[in-house]
Chain A
Amino acid sequence: MKSKLNASNAVVAVVCAALVLLPIYSAATGNIFILTLLTRIIIFALAASSLNLIMGYGGMMSFGHAAYLGIGGYAVGILAAEDIGSGFIQWPVALAVSALFALVIGSLSLRTRGVYFIMITLAFAQMAYYVASALSRYGGDDGLTIYKRSTFDGLINLSDRTQFYYLCLGCLFGGIYLIWRIVNSRFGLVVQGVRSNEQRMQAIGFPAYRYRLTCFVIAGTICGLAGALLANNTDFVSPAVMYWTRSGDLMVMVILGGMGSLFGPLIGAIVYLVLEELLSQFTEYWALIMGPLLLLIVLFARGGIMGLLGRVRRG
């Protein structure tokens, strides 16, 4: 967050201001749906930001990040189904289980590199997907409807659209702030150092594996929070949120927005999901446009949208 005035910073500032002011616009025009849509986008932006922490800064290409969305969501859903409605229990459990899952799969996955890392994270996410499908008590393949959102002793009412929106936005900004602090801390610099040259960092005396694992667990925990939010937003959680295509969606958001850029995932999530919504309203064949668009972005706009904006300033 260097306070340089350039195109990308200007865009980020405008987008953030717009997000903060959106409920006012929504109330004024009576357009509730835009609030619902943006709530969803913000939650995915939070998940994508957490993926960006390990992918963009840590060089760990996880293809199983959606697993945490499901784990956070199922923690809320299962507790709600067992009549434990308090968010003070549900949410810490969601975070703890996500962290634990990240710790276990991270400690095994981080032994591999490159494509093998991509595939082993995918394998663990798919296993989580199938475990959720096997939970016949909690809906199995069909998913679990959450009849009551998490309660916080009157502190905040999640069923109120505006309050819930600001809660999600707060979580997003909090998450991005946390990531910014991590990236610029000594710990974050080591992790980034490991990405570019593991042997050297190891030689200097940093236990690279432990640093990477810690980073992996932090990202998983943040994404677990996004999962808890998502479950409350949709009043529903199903194994589908963990399917590999959803992990792919998260990756696309990160790359589209700009990997290793703090606000890139937010921009990527907005563009990807709004584009999908708009194109699907105009034509049933929206993928016919979206597909080549992705190809063109990769071919001609490396560094995603944020990279493109950076270039605007220079050129």
Chain B
Amino acid sequence: MKTSFWLAGATALALAQPAVAADPIKIGFVSTFSGPTAVIGNDMRNSFELALDHLGRKMDGKPVEVIYEDDQQKPDVGKQKTEKLVQSDKVDFIVGYIWSNVLLASLKTAVDSKTFLISANAGPSQLAGELCSPYVFSTSWQNDQTPQAMGTYMNQKGVKSVFLIGPNYAAGKDMLAGVKSTFKGQVVGEEYTVWPSQLDFSAELSKARNSKAEAIFVFYPGAAGVQFLNQYAQAGIKQQIPLYTAFTIDELSLPLQKENALGVPGAQQWVNDLPNEQNKKFVTDYRKKYANLRPTFYGAQSYDAANLINSAVVAVKGDLTKKDAMKAEMEKVNFKSVRGPYKYGNNHIPIQNFYLQDVVKDGEGQLALKTVATIVENDQDRFHDKCPMK
């Protein structure tokens, strides 16, 4: 009985590579589809699917096949799934990656096999610097850029001292380093919490209150952002010390954060109300296709990733062996991004604007994110010098 099962397993795995007549464009998509942060992965998948709908589910006339893999928010699992996509499914592109640590673990597999990898979210500093690669592009940002914009905004507001709190993983460290690089005032405290398991921030909040800082800056993506805002409000610190954030309030967390998020500013390269045509189409159709949901910046970046890939496939007329030509085309950003036009630096990280977003009540009486101002224009990450590519 055992034998037959095992053989069945082996055959099923062998058959996992379907033989389709018209060579499809194969795209692997690695993101988190289980556990508490699965909502982010779902939004990325939704947006990617919508982009394919808009492209007629074809790239240069060829059908597109997407294989979604769940990284469970674990670096080792993400690495394993990337291996499967490269070796077993033999995909032409790999897209996704929410988490910096998962991306860093998976990077070598993709680069060694010369498979194009488009990071639709994670942007660890190593990726922009010494680990940059001709085969890796980002449709998001380098981690430090967004908090750098927030640091600049705090300078504009005349904030003199800040208390920093963030999770203890690659992106968390990058984020706090980013604020520190632009903020001109004094950093009176810096706390890291265990990621992703620590959800009680009472000890950190007590210290922040005691530090008498003029502002608190935090970075807590996903569910942790909900808890942080809850506890911040309940401890009564909201009335005492204003909060500045990066990647803590988005369309996914807002319905859970509710009034706690009102008036808390954040920085982002994309906000759902950006007034360009491509973005209006994206947001409107997203809300039409997925009832009761709103796209997030994670989704916007995934939507862009699909279009970036399409531009490369079209440029080489579907001949995916022409890797150099595809790389050259992607470097041109020859598609309409939902964030508006942007350029690529030598390290394939976007040079782009960052906007100030605020939480307001919209026309439908719901809480929504609104673009308030442009904080920085054409911002390039601060690690591009370390990238050996010219």
Q: Which A residues form the contact surface with B (CB < 8 A)?
A: 10-11, 14-15, 18, 29, 31-34, 36-37, 40, 133, 140-143, 145, 147, 234-236, 238, 240-241, 267, 270-271, 274-275, 277-278, 280-281, 284, 305, 309, 312
Q: Is the CB of B34 within 8 A of A142?
A: no
What residues of A have a CB within 8 angstroms of the CB of B101 in the complex? Answer: 141-143, 238
Beyond A15-B2, A141-B101, list 9 extra A-B contacts (CB 8 Å): A29-B14, A142-B75, A234-B76, A236-B105, A238-B105, A240-B75, A278-B13, A280-B70, A305-B2
The CA-CA distance from A135 to B105 in the complex, in Å, is 17
Q: How far is the CA of A241 from the CA of B76 in the complex (A)?
A: 8
Closest 3 CB pairs of A and B: A33-B88, A142-B101, A32-B87
**How many B residues are at the interface, by size bracket?**
35 or more
CB atoms of B108 and A235 under 8 A apart? yes
19 contacting pairs across A/B (C-beta < 8 A): A11-B3, A33-B13, A34-B14, A36-B84, A140-B169, A142-B170, A145-B104, A145-B105, A145-B108, A234-B76, A234-B80, A235-B108, A236-B79, A240-B76, A241-B76, A278-B12, A278-B13, A280-B70, A284-B70
DSSP class of B's interface residues: helix, strand, loop or mixed?
helix
Interface residues of B in 175-232 (CB under 8 A from A): 194-195
B161 interfacial contact with A, CB 8 Å: no
A238 touches B6 (CB 8 A): no
A278 touches B9 (CB 8 A): yes
Minimum C-beta distance from B141 to chain A (A): 19
**Cβ of B17 < 8 Å from any Cβ of A?**
yes
Tell me if A's interface is mostly helix, strand, loop or mixed. helix
Nearest chain B CB to A288 CB, angstrom units? 12
B75 touches A236 (CB 8 A): yes
Contact (Cβ within 8 A) A141 B2: no
- Say which residue of A37, A236, A312 sits within 8 Å of B13 (CB atoms): A37
**Smallest CB gap from A238: residue in B:** B75
- B residues near A277, Cβ cutoff 8 Å: 9, 13
CB distance from B106 to the nearest CB of A (A): 9
Within 251-265 of B, Cβ neighbours of A (below 8 Å) are at: none
A33 to B6, CA, bound (A): 16
- Distance between B148 CB and nearest chain A CB, rounded to angstroms: 21
Q: Mark B63-85, 1 if CB is under 8 A from A, else 0.
A: 00000001000111001100110
Smallest beta-carbon distance A285→chain B, Å: 9
B168 within 8 A of A: yes
Residues in chain A near residue B75, CB distance under 8 A:
142-143, 236, 238, 240
The answer to whether B83 touches A274 (Cβ under 8 A) is no
- Cβ of B310 < 8 Å from any Cβ of A? no
**Contacts A32-B87, A240-B75 known; A267 to B2 CB distance under 8 Å?**
yes
CB distance from A122 to the nearest CB of B (A): 16
Q: How far is the CA of A306 from the CA of B368 in the complex (A)?
A: 58
Contact B9 A274 (CB under 8 A): yes
Closest partner residue, chain B, to A245 (CB atom) = B74
Q: Choose from A29, A141, A241 the contact partner of B169 (Cβ within 8 Å).
A: A141
Beta-carbon contact of A271 and B2 below 8 Å:
yes
Interface centre among B2, B10, B195 (most CB of A within 10 A): B2
Contact of A143 among B10, B17, B34, B105 (CB under 8 A): B105
A contact residues around B80 at 8 Å (CB) = 40, 234
* Residues of A contacting B12 in the complex (Cβ-Cβ under 8 angstroms): 278, 281
Chain A residues lying within 8 Å of B89, measured Cβ to Cβ, are 33
Residues from chain B with Cβ under 8 Å of A240 in the complex = 74-76
Minimum Cβ distance to chain A for residue B350 (Å): 23
Which listed residue, B5, B13, B88, touches A271 by the CB 8 Å rule? B5
Within the complex, the shortest CB–CB distance from B71 to chain A, in Å, comes to 12
Q: Which of A15, A32, A34, A284 contacts B34 (CB 8 A)?
A: A284
Q: Chain B's nearest CB lies how many Å from the CB of A306?
A: 9
